[in-house]
């Protein structure tokens, strides 16, 4: 056994044992999922739960949609690199599984019962998927230049900071971010970009493998299509009533307009006015934002493999600003009493005459803080600022930590290549060649032994061996 290679598997084993132990001690089923609870064994007229009261009925279909986005959409979206398909799909599955389990525990630090127990039900799984979504967005910034060990450590740090930021924004500031523009997209993007900047300056990254082929781009379009189809569920999964209805409708219309305008501008701005598949893969989802990565690389020394700044960062910030403007404009004339469902903090305080009047007409309103539209908008904007601060500072510190040799830094000559971490039968010759070059003190970047290389190229490789 190669202990250096086996180290990562042993670490994952220890991590899973720790997670199982923590779940055993601190996690239990919520009332609606606990079959042993006494309320499930009495007549509904005596306080028992009716079948339709269980939230699994309401949320399961959208939960499955979000789950497909995480494991299929994000995974295949990242397969555009010509020699990194195994890693794109495989690491997405690994990191998502870790993030879901760890996310339940981290969120439970801030959301638990009086006995310190974390009670989970279907919405807990949706929130865990959202945490995984933020992680996968960050992965896009360092895809191909980081090891599985580094990425696993990133998940542990980022998911905790994600949960902290969400608690500050949603529970303390009571900001509303139904589609996750701030909590998921902006946070994940700028955490990943800050991490990328601190882990590896751009000038050190120069690989012929950081490119696509027609086949790899086609696989990436599978991810784009799945994300495009299910994005309305992602935005509306945890909304309720007419809020959820509007979220689904508005998201679909926005995506449709984005898709159309992406084809318009891609055909106008691309070389020889031909459509660019990279634009279609990304701008289709990002609201038409299709340029910007070259600037980051040349001016800021910041590497962004998947263009997360364009696809998630800028749209996330724009969404946060738009949310601030909408909060300032929202009033009862537009939303009626459902305004207090959309912005709970704007509901009148408990025991006030205003609250009593509203409850008499609209029983589903909970007491709030009596905020004005202006004060709600200020809290929305403050949430965006805090999100960016935690993401950038947290990502930078995480990047400094992950530069330590103990976390298995990927050699420069093996960036964007599956062969360093995966068994790739068709790459056995390249693996032998790279090892031979290393023993001879040669730079492996001088050899670009592509999949499907012709016989002359293979003969050269054999002679080098």
* pLDDT tens-digit readout, 375-426: 999 999 999 999 999 999 999 999 999 999 899 888 887 888 888 888 887 6
Residues 433 and 285 in one domain: no
* pLDDT band, very low/low/confident/very high, at 290 (cuts 50, 70, 90): very low
Q: What's the mean per-residue pLDDT of the chain?
A: 83
How many domains is the chain partitioned into structurally?
2
* pLDDT band, very low/low/confident/very high, at 47 (cuts 50, 70, 90): low
Q: Would you say residue 348 lies in a domain?
A: no
Residues 382 and 451 in one domain: no
Residue 193 has pLDDT above 50, yes or no: yes
Q: Would you say residue 360 lies in a domain?
A: no
Q: Would you say residue 144 lies in a domain?
A: yes
Residues 306 and 434 in one domain: no
What pLDDT is stored for residue 353 in this prediction? 81
Q: Would you say residue 27 lies in a domain?
A: yes
Residues 259 and 314 in one domain: yes
Residues 404 and 445 in one domain: no
Which region among 7-21, 113-127, 422-436 has the lowest average model confidence (pLDDT)?
422-436
What pLDDT is stored for residue 361 in this prediction? 73
What pLDDT is stored for residue 457 in this prediction? 40
Residue 107 has pLDDT above 60, yes or no: yes
Residues 389 and 447 in one domain: no
Average pLDDT over residues 50-55: 63
Q: Would you say residue 40 lies in a domain?
A: yes
Q: What percent of the chain has pLDDT over 90?
A: 44
**Structural domain of residue 440, as residue ranges?**
427-464
According to the per-residue pLDDT averaged within each range, which of 308-317, 361-370, 433-442 is highest? Answer: 308-317
Q: Would you say residue 281 lies in a domain?
A: yes
CATH code: domain of residue 129: 1.10.3430.10
Rounded CA-CA distance 178/199 in Å is 32
Residue 433 has pLDDT above 80, yes or no: no
Q: 241 with 301: CB under 8 angstroms?
A: no
Q: Would you say residue 419 lies in a domain?
A: no
Full-prediction pTM beyond 0.95? no
Residues 319 and 295 in one domain: yes
Rounded CA-CA distance 383/144 in Å is 32
Residues 381 and 442 in one domain: no
Residues 382 and 460 in one domain: no
Q: Would you say residue 364 lies in a domain?
A: no
β-partners of residue 29 are 120
State the sign of the Cα–Cα–Cα–Cα dihedral 89, 263, 297, 312: negative
Residues 442 and 391 in one domain: no
Query: Shortest CA distance to 195 belongs to which of 238, 226, 151?
Result: 151
Residues 393 and 445 in one domain: no
Which region among 93-107, 252-266, 431-445 has the lowest average model confidence (pLDDT)?
431-445
For helices 3-26 and 85-110, angle between their N-to-C axes, nearest 10 degrees: 30
Q: 415 with 385: CB under 8 angstroms?
A: no
């Amino acid at each position: 056994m190669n202990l250096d290679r086996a180290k990562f598997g042993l670490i994952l084993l220890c991590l899973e044992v720790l997670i199982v132990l923590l779940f055993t001690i601190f996690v239990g089923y919520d009332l609606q999922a606990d079959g042993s609870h006494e309320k499930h064994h009495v007549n509904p007229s005596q306080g028992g739960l009716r079948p339709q009261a269980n939230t699994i009925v309401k949320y399961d279909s959208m939960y499955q949609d979000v789950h497909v986005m995480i494991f299929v959409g994000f995974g295949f979206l990242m397969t555009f690199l010509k020699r990194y398909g195994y890693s794109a799909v495989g690491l997405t599955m690994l990191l998502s599984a870790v993030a879901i389990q760890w996310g339940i525990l981290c969120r439970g630090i801030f959301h638990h019962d009086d006995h310190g127990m974390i009670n989970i039900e279907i919405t807990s799984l949706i929130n865990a998927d959202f945490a995984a979504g933020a992680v996968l967005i960050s992965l896009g910034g360092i895809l191909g230049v980081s090891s599985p060990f580094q990425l696993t450590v990133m998940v542990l740090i980022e998911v905790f900071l994600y949960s902290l930021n969400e608690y500050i924004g949603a529970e303390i500031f009571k900001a509303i971010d139904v589609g996750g523009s701030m909590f998921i997209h902006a946070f994940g993007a700028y955490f990943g970009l800050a991490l990328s900047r601190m882990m590896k300056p751009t000038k050190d990254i120069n690989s012929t493998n950081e490119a696509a082929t027609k086949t790899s781009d086609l696989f990436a379009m599978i991810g784009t299509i799945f994300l495009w189809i299910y994005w309305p569920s992602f935005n509306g999964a945890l909304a309720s009533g007419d809020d959820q209805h509007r979220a689904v409708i508005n998201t679909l219309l926005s995506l449709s307009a984005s898709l159309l305008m992406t084809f318009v501008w891609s055909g106008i701005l691309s070389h020889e006015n031909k459509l660019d598949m990279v634009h279609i893969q990304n701008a289709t989802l990002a609201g038409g934002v299709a340029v910007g990565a070259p600037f980051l690389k040349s001016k800021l020394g910041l590497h962004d493999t998947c263009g997360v700044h364009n696809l998630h960062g800028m749209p996330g910030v724009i969404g946060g600003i738009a949310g601030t403007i909408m909060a300032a404009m929202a009033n009862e004339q537009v939303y009626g009493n459902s305004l207090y469902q959309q912005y709970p903090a704007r509901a009148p305080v408990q025991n006030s005459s205003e609250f009593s009047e509203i409850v008499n007409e609209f029983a589903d309103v909970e007491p709030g803080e009596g905020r004005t539209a202006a004060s709600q908008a200020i809290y929305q904007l403050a949430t965006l600022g805090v999100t960016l601060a935690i993401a950038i500072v947290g990502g930078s510190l995480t990047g400094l930590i992950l530069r330590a040799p103990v976390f298995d830094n990927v050699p420069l000559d093996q960036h964007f290549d599956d062969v360093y971490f995966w068994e790739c039968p068709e790459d056995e010759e390249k693996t032998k060649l790279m090892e031979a070059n290393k023993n001879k003190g040669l730079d492996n970047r001088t050899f670009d032994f592509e999949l499907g290389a012709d016989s002359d190229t293979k003969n050269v490789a054999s002679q080098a061996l």
